[in-house]
Amino acid sequence: GAGVSQSPSNKVTEKGKDVELRCDPISGHTALYWYRQRLGQGLEFLIYFQGNSAPDKSGLPSDRFSAERTGESVSTLTIQRTQQEDSAVYLCASSEGSHNYGYTFGSGTRLTVV
């Protein structure tokens, strides 16, 4: 596609429920990144994919968070047993590959845990 697509754009969920956030990167972009942005704060790195492998998972905050990617396409970020502190905008970005040419970001998924 023309840009990075994320769905849903907004998600309200009850505490304790599981959620899945989806990211469709730009076609041909081998690298895919997930970031979290809490209200009024900067971007917090979560995980990075090169192809369908994840060389760096260091940013995942807890074992409730997981992510997978199918080939060089769609990625899913799953949050199990959501907590109120998980409320944030989850941003996905893709890039052409190594030696970053600059990310293209999606519009994000705004997650609210009530």
Partner 1 sequence: AQSVTQPDIHITVSEGASLELRCNYSYGATPYLFWYVQSPGQGLQLLLKYFSGDTLVQGIKGFEAEFKRSQSSFNLRKPSVHWSDAAEYFCAVETSYDKVIFGPGTSLSVIP
Number of amino acids touching partner 1 (CB under 8 A): 26
For 22-42, b where at least 16 C-beta lie within 10 A, e where not — what string? Answer: ebbbbeebbbbbbbbeeeeee
List the one residue from 90, 103, 111, 113 that touches partner 1 (CB under 8 A). 103
Quick one: 58 or 84, whose CB is closer to partner 1? 58
Binding site for partner 1 (CB under 8 A): 31, 33, 35, 41-43, 45, 48, 50, 55-56, 91, 93, 95, 97-108
